[in-house]
Structure 1
């Protein structure tokens, strides 16, 4: 089965760890490419390539300010990722509740053995 292009949707775009780092940086505020290069310690062409992908799926907006391009996060497309993941929240909560019970039982057993 052929792999989906990274520019098809937010799921594919955020699957790459470096793009998630860029999104994390932009979540803290607008930034230029050079500032992202310095912050992430990655070559400028790499950052630019990932920003292009993020722009194509709508996760990043860009505006020109003089000679610089300023990038900012547009979290709208992440809504689909959030909606999908939140369906698993119930499952995680149930498993953590079960783990809580097991830990309480183990603690009780340890206290009884002392």
Structure 2
């Protein structure tokens, strides 16, 4: 597995960081807005944001005295591409299951 995929999956797998990503899906947020939305202490939120930023999931811009966080534009593409790599595997397995069910379907008594 690509190190970037692994790092990003590890970062968003923690429940609070997952909640932050879900919140930022709606658009950029200042740290204070994230604190209010999640009901967590500011140091906890800042720590989670730092870990998400290190993994390349979020990025911050400074506006006056605030840091505004948003999802990194390509953050989820790496994960999405990795997951899509399994699509052909599952399609093949579903086709085999369909063939098996067709071959073993009970005869209809009409």
Q: After TM superposition, is the score higher than 0.5?
A: yes
Tell me, in whole angstroms, the C-alpha distance in 2 between the residues paired with 1:89 and 1:36.
Answer: 34
2:46 corresponding residue in structure 1? 48
What corresponds to 1:106 in structure 2?
none
Corresponding position of 1:39: 37
Q: Is the 8 A contact 2:58 2:75 kept in 1?
A: no
Alignment of 1:1-114 (within 5 A): 9-93=7-91, 98=97
Deviation at 1:84, TM superposition (A): 1.4
Please report how far the alpha carbon of residue 60 of structure 1 lies from its aligned counterpart in structure 2 after TM superposition.
1.1
Deviations 1:22-81 (A, max 9, x none): 111111111011111111122211111110011112211111111111111114132221
Residues 1:34 and 1:86: Cα distance change in structure 2 (over 3 Å): same
| Structure 1 alignment gaps of length 5 or more | 1-7, 103-111
Q: Distance in 2 between matches of 1:49 and 1:28?
A: 21
Contact persistence 2:58–2:70 (CA under 8 A) = yes
Is the 2:58–2:69 contact (alpha carbons within 8 Å) kept by the matching residues of 1?
A: yes
Residue in 2 aligned with 1:3? none
Give RMSD over aligned pairs: 2.8
